[in-house]
Amino acid sequence: MNNRIYRSVIKLVMFIAIFGIVLSVLFTAYELVMRQLFGKPTIWTNEITSYLLVWFGLLGIVYAYDQNAHVRVDLVYNRLGSKAKLLCNFLESFLSLGFLAILLFYGYKYWWLAQSRGWNHTGSIDVPMSYTRFAIPLIAALLTLQAAFRAWDAIRRLLFDIFKKGENNSIKQAV
């Protein structure tokens, strides 16, 4: 995948996530004003805000993964050499790929179950469950692509490091 296309997708995900979070805050503030100042609570803001937070919170995970902004314990990692760090990065990406493939598969099955059976959320606005359940396979697919790119990048860097050292050794032997 072209890096420029990937960067554009990540930037779009970031803007959509930010927009959704801001919208959720505005809806919540609207509910607060209507309930506290006018004594007329709305029946839709809590549900809509919950659905928005599902979608845009998960989109935020995609952006955070791209930015390496997830919480991690790096006490040991920071003490490793560059080759060991590359190996750890590859293992993290490879293990993530396995987990994300399972999440993608079962997320799709869960979405399809809600879609095919016509399940709806219980509440005042009767939203089909498939609208919110589709977030799981979509986000899993985006994260799977990211993990695959990271694994590929780690492999390339490891191989480059190995071949670069091999060239240095052959040059030293020739001299």
Q: What is the mean pLDDT of each run of 10 residues along the chain (175 residues)?
A: 83 94 94 93 88 90 90 83 86 93 96 93 83 93 92 87 65 51
Assess whether 83 and 141 both reside in one domain.
yes
Q: How many separate domains does the chain show?
A: 2
Count the Cβ atoms, other than its own, within 10 Å of residue 127. 16
Residues in the chain: 175
Range of the structural domain that residue 2 is part of: 1-71
Assess whether 49 and 88 both reside in one domain.
no
User: In angstroms, rounded to a whole number, what is the distance separating the alpha carbons of residues 118 and 158?
Assistant: 49
Q: Which residue has the tokens 């071949």?
A: 163
Assess whether 47 and 64 both reside in one domain.
yes
In this predicted structure, what is the pLDDT of residue 115?
94
Assess whether 52 and 15 both reside in one domain.
yes
In this predicted structure, what is the pLDDT of residue 169?
56
In this predicted structure, what is the pLDDT of residue 89?
86
Assess whether 7 and 64 both reside in one domain.
yes
25, 41, 71 — which closes off a domain? Answer: 71
Q: Which residues contact 121 (CB under 8 A, 6 or more apart)?
A: 47, 127, 128, 129, 132
Q: What number of CA atoms fall less than 13 Å from residue 95's CA on the CB side?
A: 6
Assess whether 67 and 82 both reside in one domain.
no
Assess whether 109 and 23 both reside in one domain.
no
In this predicted structure, what is the pLDDT of residue 165?
67
- N-to-C CA span, the chain: 41
Assess whether 33 and 108 both reside in one domain.
no
Assess whether 31 and 112 both reside in one domain.
no
